[in-house]
């Protein structure tokens, strides 16, 4: 399958998921996970309303069927069927007639972006509201309006999905993305598409690590997973939270709380040596679910990978974050970056030099000759010398790549060639 085909398939998944009305609970989440499950099998978890999860409680489940505002002629001037962003998430049921003056207190617009619909939620306060274009509001005459939100807020469940790619060891790499936003293509659907494709690719690679993919609502989903998996947290050696994965901006990596975890070093190395435009920022306790994984009691080695970060682009949390805003090319670049990160994690072993007294003769072992024809022959030879010198059982291949300022793949290939010649042996992670 070509890289172009992969990009088109990811974009098609975004387009398919886009119309669904998602929230932190409800049937929209279930349908989203059902569609993802067509590509990668998911274990679906249902956690009942009222379950205590750390300092939180699983909320009541919200579902919505229809919503509108009708003018005096009966025309829908705001229609949930046009865009599910029109309704404030978790709005309680409403059926009333009221004046425009009364209604205004429940209307949300973006005066600086008059042709866009904002995204608003009210998860933990029982209220209701509509989001609409400022241009639409400006055109509404005074008078009475019929207001209806056909929703339910009742005991139910919080739903999330897990997909595990088994590895040769039980140590885990965690990849998480959120599934709680309605029609927002970059913030969150592109992350779902990239994670799904990454899981499929890893399943074909016989990985060293076990990879655990989490598809769950933001904040309360991560808190619920952590509460239910406290005994598993110690297995997680590396982790990434994926979001905003499909816009045209440069890649941004937010370090884990530790700041110097292996995942932080790996992502920095991959981005630097790839030549991609990028930015690396320090951890802060605000953002996506990295702030839950990196809360001080857990302090997991989990960073966040985005393109343009949250709130960093004008389309963020508006109706302009639609499938046209994300591209197959950008999602493919994010996917390839994730793949390169996993391959460094997979190959980052420590080696022991079996001929440490003086430099062994590489020529008679055919090692120089084996590199003939490579465009980076000199670089590959230097990598062999660096691997031999620093393979003392203490330095990892990433240590060697960073110190030598050589690409990790070149260093790893050199280690493999030296191992084949009996000059080094693998000592472990």
Reported as a single tens digit per residue, the pLDDT across 296-326 is 999 999 999 999 999 999 999 999 999 999 9
Q: Shortest CA distance to 59 belongs to which of 187, 159, 183?
A: 159
Average pLDDT of the residues in 155-175: 98
From the list 365, 327, 350, the residue with the least C-alpha distance to 398 is 350
Give the rounded distance of the alpha carbon of 411 from its chain centre.
Answer: 29
**pLDDT of 364:** 84
The boundaries of every CATH 3.50.30.90 domain in the chain are: 62-154
CATH 1.10.3720.10 fits 62-154, yes or no: no
CA dist., res. 295 & res. 302, Å (int)? 10
Which pLDDT score, from 0 to 100, does residue 347 have? 97
Would you tell me how many other CB atoms lie within 10 Å of the CB of residue 290? 27
pLDDT the model gives residue 365? 83
SS3 category, 95: strand
pLDDT, one tens digit per residue, over 179-231 is 999 999 999 999 999 999 999 999 999 999 999 999 999 999 999 999 999 99
pLDDT tens for 35-76 read 999 999 999 999 999 999 999 999 999 999 999 999 999 999
What's the pLDDT at 121? 97
Where, residue-wise, is CATH 3.40.630.10 in the chain? 3-59+158-346
| CA 355/CA 426 separation, integer angstroms | 14
Dihedral angle at the C-alpha atoms of 323, 328, 333, 338, nearest 10 degrees? Answer: 70
The verdict on whether residue 181 carries a ligand-binding annotation is yes
Residue 49 pLDDT: 98
**Sign of the torsion angle spanned by Cα atoms 175, 181, 183, 187:** negative
Report the 10 Å Cβ neighbour count for 174. 24
pLDDT at 376: 67
Q: How far is CA 428 from CA 171, 208, 210, in A?
A: 13, 11, 16
- DSSP secondary structure string for all residues of 283-326: --S-SSTHHHHTSTTT--SEEEEESSPTT-STTTTBTT-STTTS
CA distance 342 to 240: 10
Least confident interval from 192-196, 373-377, 398-402: 373-377
Fold of 3-59+158-346: Aminopeptidase (3.40.630)
Q: What does pTM read for this prediction?
A: 0.95
| CATH code that applies to domain 350-428 | 1.10.10.10
- Asked whether 167 and 207 are in contact (CB, 8 A), the reply is yes
Structure tokens at 196: 């799904």
Domain with CATH 1.10.10.10 in the chain: 350-428
Is 317 flagged in the annotation as binding?
yes
pLDDT score at 95 = 98
From CA 297, how far away is CA 162, in angstroms rounded?
A: 23
Choose among 243, 283, 251, 291: nearest CA to 267: 251
């Amino acid at each position: 399958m070509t890289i172009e085909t992969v990009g088109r398939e990811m974009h098609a998944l975004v387009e398919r998921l886009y119309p669904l009305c998602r929230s932190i609970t409800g049937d929209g989440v279930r349908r989203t996970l059902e569609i993802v499950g067509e590509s990668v099998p998911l274990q679906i978890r249902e956690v009942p309303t009222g379950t205590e999860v750390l300092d939180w409680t699983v909320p009541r489940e919200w579902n919505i069927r229809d919503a509108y505002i009708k003018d005096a002629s009966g025309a829908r001037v705001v229609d949930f069927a046009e865009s599910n962003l029109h309704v404030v998430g978790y709005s309680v049921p409403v059926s009333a007639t009221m004046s425009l003056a009364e209604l205004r207190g429940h209307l949300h617009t973006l005066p600086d972006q008059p042709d866009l619909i904002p995204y608003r939620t009210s998860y933990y306060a029982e209220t209701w509201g509509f989001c609409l274009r400022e241009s639409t509001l400006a055109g509404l005459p005074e008078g009475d309006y019929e207001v209806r939100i056909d929703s339910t807020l009742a005991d139910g469940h919080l739903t999330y999905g897990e997909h595990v790619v088994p590895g040769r060891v039980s140590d885990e790499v965690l990849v998480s993305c959120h599934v709680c936003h309605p029609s927002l293509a970059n913030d969150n659907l592109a992350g779902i598409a990239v994670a799904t494709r990454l899981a499929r690719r890893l399943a074909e690679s016989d990985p060293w690590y076990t990879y655990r993919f989490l598809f769950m609502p933001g904040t309360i989903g991560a808190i619920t997973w952590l509460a239910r998996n406290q005994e598993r947290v110690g297995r997680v050696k590396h982790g990434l939270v994926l979001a905003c994965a499909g816009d045209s901006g440069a890649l941004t990596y937010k370090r884990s709380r530790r700041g110097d975890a292996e995942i932080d070093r790996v992502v920095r190395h991959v981005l630097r040596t790839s030549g991609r435009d990028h930015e690396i920022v320090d951890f802060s306790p605000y953002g996506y679910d990295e702030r839950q994984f990196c809360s001080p009691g857990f302090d997991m080695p989990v960073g966040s990978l985005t393109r343009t970060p949250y709130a960093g682009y004008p389309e963020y949390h508006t109706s302009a974050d639609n499938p046209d805003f994300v591209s197959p090319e950008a999602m493919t670049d994010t996917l390839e970056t994730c793949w390169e990160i996993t391959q460094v994690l997979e190959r980052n072993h420590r080696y022991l030099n079996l001929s440490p007294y003086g430099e062994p003769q590489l020529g008679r072992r055919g090692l120089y000759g084996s590199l003939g024809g490579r465009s980076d022959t000199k670089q590959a030879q230097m990598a062999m010398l660096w691997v031999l010198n620093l393979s003392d059982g203490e330095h990892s291949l990433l240590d060697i790549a960073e110190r030598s300022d050589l690409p990790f793949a070149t260093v790893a290939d050199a280690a493999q060639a030296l191992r084949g010649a009996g000059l080094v042996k693998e000592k472990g992670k």
